[in-house]
Structure 1
Amino acid sequence: MKIKSDKRPSRRNDRKVLVAEESIKRWAESDSESSSSSSSSSDSEQKEVHCLMADHMDDDEAENASLKNSSAESSSDELEDTDSLKTELSKLRIENELLRSESSELKAEVEKLTKEMSSWTQSTRALQKLQESKSQHLIELS
């Protein structure tokens, strides 16, 4: 199974945000100092900020798409793992039933053999008694 990892924003994105913030601050400061002389430079700084923000958003979108793909892959992997586990469980259940059946057959055979041994033991005792009584009868006759 794959483990989902949380991606942290890259340092490159952090730098872009910082540059954008600094540009905004500079633009605000220059705007308050002189509005006429800084209009062309503030326009370029504003464009720079928009570009940096657009780059940042593009990076976020790419990262989101990447996360969606990895999420879909992990979901697919989890489904495959679930299916394989279900198949394995089914096989184990079948094997378990076969072993239970075999166990029942063996228990029945043990019970049958136990009865047969008991019968032989009784027969042996009866034969010994018969031999003992025959021996005593011969002794009495002699």
Structure 2
Amino acid sequence: MRALIQRVSQASVSVDGEILGHIDQGLLALIGVTADDDSTRADRLLHKLLNYRVFADDEDRMNRNLQQIGGGLLLVSQFTLVAATDKGLRPSFSSAAPPEHGRAMFDHLVMQASQAWPNTATGRFGADMQVALINDGPVTFLLET
């Protein structure tokens, strides 16, 4: 699984003008699922999302994680993250999970995240979503499991 995470001061995701998920300070995580991903990888990714130290401590160093700052976690499915872009001028999605598997893995991640961290929000799998954010830093990392 891949997650493109961005440290945000706020972020939201909407479908057809309806806001489905919103957070203030925290992490926006765009999630890509490959055909090889399983619940073990999803669980490892969740551990990284909750514990990755990208928030400033008292000395302004990235030493605090999402839990330590009490931030929000916004999970948004984005299959384009697993595209192969190394050849040609058109992305290849051959390594992306089929929709049923992608939904199952994303739903597993959301369920586990909601149980582990109450300040979790999400978009809608497979929908045409609009994501709004204010990237704080900017700080952006690509996490893989």
RCO greater where, 1 or 2, for CA within 8 Å and sep 6 or more?
Answer: 2
Task: Give the alignment's TM-score, normalised by structure 2.
Answer: 0.21
Answer with 1 or 2: which has the greater Rg.
1
- Normalized per residue, the structure richer in strand is 2
Task: Give the alignment's TM-score, normalised by structure 1.
Answer: 0.21
